[in-house]
Amino acid sequence: MRPDPRLGQIIDSQAEERRRAESSLPISLRRFHETGSPVDAWEAIADWLLTDQPRPESLRTYLYKVAATITNLSRDQIPTKGKVDRAIRKALGFQTTGRRNPFRELTTPGHEFLIAMQVYQCQTRNRHWSWKAVFADVAESHHRPCDQCKKKISSAKVKQYWYKRALQAIPPHLIDRAKSKKLDDILR
Ligand SMILES: [Zn+2]
């Protein structure tokens, strides 16, 4: 039997997928450890399955918990009719209440980082401005380069994300040479 010529292409694309997964796994795993979100867990699982790396303990724990809970749904925790979807959601670790969409959360750190970055740039351009003025300016202009926000965001939100992500947005050499990790010492 002649080998299928497409086989070579399939093997090539598998090798490529594997390289992608190997470099992506530490990132997706770290995100899962930070957020504990099942969305992040499944991304890390998908990456890990494509690599030859040993099974990360946190994924083992997550998968075991899901498997044991799902198994239990056919034993002593049988959900009543109409509650099956909810039971599965819960078993997978998804919140069962609230309006939050867990599948949108993936972009949150990047979005907060963008806002912090805009604050840093605005503060650098206008060193004599008060923080209040900087936050107000970013609140006013943030949505223009942002593909998530259709209109102006609040100053309070800008302030919140700045204090959360500032140390990621400020260039590392400025942080290293500062006397303390206080933002006013770093940005003077
Ligand atoms: Zn935005």
* 20 within 8 A of 49, measured Cβ to Cβ: no
98: pLDDT strictly greater than 90: no
According to the 3-state scheme, what is the secondary structure of the chain? Answer: CCCCCHHHHHHHHHHHHHHHHHHHHHHHHHHHHHHCCHHHHHHHHHHHHHCCCCCCHHHHHHHHHHHHHHHHCCCCCCCCCCCHHHHHHHHCCCCCCCCCCHHHHHHHHHHHHHHHHHHHHHHHHCCCCCHHHHHHHHHHHCCCCCCCCCCCCCHHHHHHHHHHHHHHHCCHHHHHHCCCCCHHHHCC
Q: To which residue do tokens 């302030």 refer?
A: 159
**pLDDT (0 to 100) of residue 78:** 94
pTM for this predicted structure: 0.56
Band (87; pLDDT cuts 50, 70, 90):
very high
* 19-59 pLDDT tens trace: 888 888 887 888 788 778 898 899 899 999 999 999 999 99
- Cα 111 to middle of ligand 1, angstroms: 6
Kindly give the distance from the C-alpha atom of residue 159 to the centroid of ligand 1, in angstroms, as a whole number: 14
Distance 143 CA to ligand 1 centre (A): 5
49 C-alpha to center of ligand 1: Å? 33
Query: How does pLDDT run across 120-145, given as a tens digit for each residue?
Result: 999 999 999 999 999 999 999 998 87
Distance 149 CA to ligand 1 centre (A): 4
CA 104–ligand 1 middle distance (angstroms): 13
Alpha-carbon span 168 to 15, nearest angstrom: 33
